[in-house]
Amino acid sequence: MRRLVYLLPILLVAALVAVFWRGLDPARDKSALPSALIGQPAPALDLPPLREGDPSFSLAAFKGKPVAVNFFASWCLPCRAEHPLLSRIGDEFGIPVVGIAYKDTAANARGYLAELGDPYAAIGQDESGRAGIEFGLTGVPETYILDGEGIIRYRLAGPISPENFADQLAPEIRAVLQ
């Protein structure tokens, strides 16, 4: 029994190493989790606008052309990291990027955009996180590509990086645009 106590540290470390080993599996792509909603129509969100003076936010307003939906929050660190890349979606493909401020107070979300710049065509405010549930959000940031019919064609979970922008996001947008 006493011996078992001294074995405990090595057993714990062995378990941890096993977990890390699984975590390093190259097949585990952190950003491409399967989403049950791919190929399904996007939920028709109707949310209060984040920006004062904007009309009420509705995804239906963007029907007819592809659109990128980005969930963000001021309390989310990776969101800051991906922020400069959001405007590239509009610049390079000419499609609007709409933002949804997930589980965030309006004041904080506005402050966040005031500080980093506002790349969004429209912003819905999702303080309760309902829109996140409807989209099956797993965390922030998360970016969805919708086609002209409002069907979800692609989901990128986690922050956009220069690498996954080039390898994943850009080809997917191109495919939707064709």
Q: Which residues are near other proteins by CB under 8 A?
A: 2-3, 6-7, 9-10, 13-14, 16-17, 19-24, 26, 28, 30, 33, 75-78, 80-81, 84, 107, 110-111, 114-118, 138-139, 157-159, 163
Rounded CA-CA distance 108/104 in Å is 7
| Residue with Cβ nearer other proteins (106 or 151) | 106
| Residue with Cβ nearer other proteins (29 or 46) | 29
CA dihedral 118, 124, 128, 133 (to 10 degrees): -110
| Residue with Cβ nearer other proteins (62 or 144) | 144
Residue 19 beta carbon to other proteins: minimum distance, rounded to whole angstroms: 6
Residue 22 beta carbon to other proteins: minimum distance, rounded to whole angstroms: 5
| Residue with Cβ nearer other proteins (26 or 178) | 26
| Residue with Cβ nearer other proteins (13 or 175) | 13
Are 100 and 70 a contacting pair, CB within 8 Å?
Answer: yes
Residue 10 beta carbon to other proteins: minimum distance, rounded to whole angstroms: 4
Question: What does the DSSP 8-state code read for residue 43?
Answer: P
Residue 171 beta carbon to other proteins: minimum distance, rounded to whole angstroms: 19
End-to-end alpha carbon distance in the chain: 67
Rounded CA-CA distance 102/110 in Å is 12
The candidate with the shortest Cα–Cα distance to 120, out of 55, 47, 63, 67, is 67
- The residue whose two tokens read 């000419």 is 94
Rounded CA-CA distance 159/91 in Å is 18
Residue 20 beta carbon to other proteins: minimum distance, rounded to whole angstroms: 5
